[in-house]
A = this chain, B = another copy of it.
Amino acid sequence: MIKNLTENEARELLHDQKFGHLGCVLESGEPYVVPVNYLFKDDGIYVHVLPGQKLDAMRVNHKICLQVDKIEDSSRWQSVIAFGDFQEIKRINEKIDILKEFSAYSEQSTPVEAMMEEKWNQGGLVVFRLNIKRITGMSES
């Protein structure tokens, strides 16, 4: 049976997972999608990235989303999307705390994170928060 998830059910999936796909809109107007690990806490979604075109884009157009799915098979799946605004974490203490939490719980790095390991101490790492405006989700079971 296919149904819409309640907001609580959708939040539960966001809490349970830690890997998703971040969407943003490039300055050309094109959508951009990248795999990321994330941290869902204090009602926000934290992600870290290296400087590049997607960061440039998010700094201009704050509308972003995170899509997370859990697909067991064709008739048992959940998919959630959180829409919200990009907010860069600039306070160094807050940034370090978030990065420590990532280190503690990430078992497997995404491509972006693999690059970060080298950059950790080089000041190139940017942490941002997706301030959630709405969450939608669907499931089949």
Is A123 interfacial (CB-CB < 8 Å)? Answer: no
| Contact present for A31 and B31 (CB under 8 Å) | yes
| Contact present for A33 and B23 (CB under 8 Å) | yes
- How many chain A residues touch B (CB < 8 A): the figure is 39
| Contact present for B31 and A24 (CB under 8 Å) | yes
| Contact present for B33 and A29 (CB under 8 Å) | no
Show 17 A/B contacts (Cβ-Cβ < 8 Å), sorted by A. Answer: A2-B115, A22-B33, A23-B32, A23-B33, A28-B63, A29-B61, A30-B83, A31-B64, A32-B65, A33-B67, A34-B79, A35-B71, A35-B79, A74-B110, A75-B109, A79-B111, A114-B140
Chain A residues packing against B (C-beta within 8 Å):
2, 21-25, 28-35, 61, 63-67, 69, 71, 73-75, 77, 79, 81, 83, 108-111, 113-115, 117, 138, 140
